[in-house]
Chains A and B, each alone.
Chain A
Amino acid sequence: MDTWTFGWTLALIGMGGTMLVLWILSLLILLLKKIFPHRPGQSAAKKG
C-alpha cells in the first residue's frame, strides 16, 4: 500500500470512526439514563 493511500485511509476512517463511536456512546448514555433514571432522594433513602 502506498504512503498516501495509507495516510488518507487512516485519516478518514480514523476521524469518521472516532466520531461514530463517540456518537453511539452518547446514545448509549441517553439510553442508560432512560432505563435507570435518577430518583430524587435515592441516595438518601439508601443511607437511611
Chain B
Amino acid sequence: MESALISGLQGLVIGVTNLGLGHVIMILIGSGLLYLGIQKGYEPLLLVPIGFGAILVNIPLADMMENEGFLRFFYDAGVRTEVFPLLIFVGIGAMTDFQPLLENPKIILLGAAGQFGIFLTLLLALAVGFDKLDAVAVAIIGACDGPTAIYVSSKFAPHMLGAVSVAAYSYMSLVPLIQPPIMRVLTTEKERMIVMGLVKQPVSKTTKILFPIVVTIFASLLAPKGAPLIGTVMLGNLMKESGVVERLKSASENEIANIVTLLLGLCIGATMEADKFLRGQTLLVLGLGFIAICLDTAVGVLFGKLMCLATGGKINPLIGAAGISAFPMSARVVQAEGQKYNKKSYLLMHAMSANAGGQIGSVIAAAVMLSVLQGMGIVGG
C-alpha cells in the first residue's frame, strides 16, 4: 500500500522532474508570443494559438507531437499535407478586392519588385551556410505572406517551420515600424511630395469574373508547381466576384478561415520543441527574415523611382513600398508617409493597387520558385 502511494505521488511530479532548461525557455518564448498577441495586438489571430501551441508542446511527457499526440494529428492532417495554408488562401482570395489593381494594371509590376527580397535573401542564406532547401525556406519569409511562407517551408524544410512562421508573422505586424525609415532613406523630399492623379477606369463585372480564371490558367501553365497556391487564391476571388455562391464565399472567409487559422497556429507552435527551436540557426532565420522584408521594401521603392522617372514624375515612389504582400497594412503605411510630406497627397488607392499586386506577386514568386526548383531537379516532379 505504502509503495503504491509513493508510485502514485511520483506520477504527479514526473512532469516537474523532467522539466529541463530548454522547456522553461520555450515556455517563456510561448508566453512572450501570447503577450505580443494579447497585450500588443501583433497578429493575435496567429500569435495566440502559436504561443499556446509552443507552451503545450514543451510540457515534458505530454507527448503532444508523438505519434498519437493531439497536435501531431492536426499537424499530419493539415501541415504535412499542405492543406491548411491552401484553405487559408481560399479565404484570402474571397476577402481580397482586386478592383484597384484592375483599374491600374501597370502598378502590378511594383508587386513583382516587392518580391525581390526573397531571391536576394536566398543568396544571403546560402552565403551564411544554409543548405539549398533550407535557404529557400528562409528566403520565402520575404514573401511577407504567412500562408505562402508556411506552404513553402513545410514542403522543403519542415524542421524550420516554427522559426519561419514566427518570423513571417512577426515582421508582417512590424511593417509600420520597418518600412518608413527605408522609404525616407531611398527617396528625396520632392519625390515624397508627388501628388498622383486619380485613375478612373471602371472595370466591368465580366472582367472581374474572368480575371481569377485567366490568372489561374495562365500563371499555372507557366509555373505548374505553384498551381495550388494560385488556384486557391483565385478560387476564393472568383466566388467573391461571381456573386452566385455567397454561402461558400462566406464560409471560406469566416468559418473555414477561422478554424484553419486556429489549427494552423497550434501546429506551428507545436513545431517549436526546445531541442529543435533553441539553436543558433533560429536566430539566423529571424535575422535573415528581417533583412528579406527590408530588401523587399527597398527594391519596391527603387522600382517606384524607376517608374517615376519613366512616367516623367507622375508616380510617387513611396507606393513601391506597398509592393510587398502585407495587405492592407503597407498601403496604409504609404498613405500615412505621403501625408506627412504633402497634405494634398492621397496615395491610398494607388498603394492599394500595388499592395494587391504584391499579394499576387508573392504567390507568383513562390510558384516560379517551386517550378524552377523542379526544373533544376532539386525537388521531385
Residues of A within 8 A of B (CB): 1, 3-4, 6-15, 17-19, 21-30, 32-33, 36-40, 42-43
* CA A42 to CA B206, docked complex, whole Å: 11
B207: Cβ under 8 A from any A Cβ:
yes
- Are the CB atoms of A6 and B207 closer together than 8 Å? no
Specify the chain B residue showing the minimal Cβ separation from A32. B207
B182: Cβ under 8 A from any A Cβ:
no
- Are the CB atoms of B119 and A14 closer together than 8 Å? yes
Across chains A and B, which 9 residue pairs bring their CB atoms closest together, nearest first?
Answer: A29-B105, A36-B206, A11-B119, A38-B202, A26-B105, A17-B368, A22-B112, A38-B204, A19-B112
Cross-chain pairs A/B with CB under 8 angstroms, 26 sampled:
A1-B376, A1-B378, A4-B126, A6-B376, A7-B122, A7-B126, A9-B372, A10-B136, A10-B372, A11-B123, A13-B372, A14-B369, A14-B372, A19-B109, A19-B112, A22-B360, A25-B108, A25-B215, A25-B218, A25-B360, A29-B105, A29-B108, A30-B105, A32-B211, A33-B207, A40-B202
Instruction: Determine which residue in B109, B122, B204, B211 has the highest number of CB atoms from chain A within 10 A of its CB, and name it.
Output: B204
Which of B132, B135, B368 contacts A21, CB < 8 Å? B368
Contacts of A13 in B (CB 8 A): 368, 372
* CA A38 to CA B203, docked complex, whole Å: 5
Main secondary structure of the interface of A (DSSP, over half): helix
- Are the CB atoms of B364 and A21 closer together than 8 Å? yes
* CA A11 to CA B365, docked complex, whole Å: 11
- Are the CB atoms of B122 and A22 closer together than 8 Å? no
Specify the chain B residue showing the minimal Cβ separation from A22. B112
- Are the CB atoms of A14 and B365 closer together than 8 Å? yes
* CA A14 to CA B205, docked complex, whole Å: 33
Contacts of A17 in B (CB 8 A): 222-223, 368, 372
- Are the CB atoms of B364 and A18 closer together than 8 Å? yes
* CA A11 to CA B135, docked complex, whole Å: 12
- Are the CB atoms of B102 and A29 closer together than 8 Å? yes
* CA A47 to CA B361, docked complex, whole Å: 35
Shortest distance from the beta carbon of A22 to any chain B beta carbon, whole Å: 4
* CA A37 to CA B207, docked complex, whole Å: 8
Which of B105, B123, B369 contacts A8, CB < 8 Å? B123
Contacts of A15 in B (CB 8 A): 115-116, 119
* CA A19 to CA B111, docked complex, whole Å: 9
B201: Cβ under 8 A from any A Cβ:
yes
B373: Cβ under 8 A from any A Cβ:
yes
Contacts of B365 in A (CB 8 A): 14, 18
B219: Cβ under 8 A from any A Cβ:
yes
Contacts of A42 in B (CB 8 A): 204-205
Contacts of B214 in A (CB 8 A): 28, 32
Contacts of A9 in B (CB 8 A): 372, 376
B159: Cβ under 8 A from any A Cβ:
no
Specify the chain B residue showing the minimal Cβ separation from A42. B204
Which of B123, B135, B203, B357 contacts A22, CB < 8 Å? B357
- Are the CB atoms of A22 and B361 closer together than 8 Å? yes
Shortest distance from the beta carbon of B202 to any chain A beta carbon, whole Å: 4
Shortest distance from the beta carbon of A27 to any chain B beta carbon, whole Å: 8
**Given the interface contacts A6-B132, A14-B365, A17-B372, does A36 sit within 8 Å of B204 by beta carbon?**
yes
B120: Cβ under 8 A from any A Cβ:
yes
Contacts of B207 in A (CB 8 A): 29, 32-33, 36, 38
Instruction: Determine which residue in B108, B113, B211, B368 has the highest number of CB atoms from chain A within 10 A of its CB, and name it.
Output: B368
What 0/1 readout, one digit per residue, does chain B (265-294) give for beta carbons within 8 Å of chain A?
000000000000000000000000000000
Which of B118, B203, B222 contacts A14, CB < 8 Å? B118
Shortest distance from the beta carbon of A1 to any chain B beta carbon, whole Å: 7
Contacts of B113 in A (CB 8 A): 19
Instruction: Determine which residue in B111, B119, B202, B215 has the highest number of CB atoms from chain A within 10 A of its CB, and name it.
Output: B119
B106: Cβ under 8 A from any A Cβ:
yes
Shortest distance from the beta carbon of B39 to any chain A beta carbon, whole Å: 37
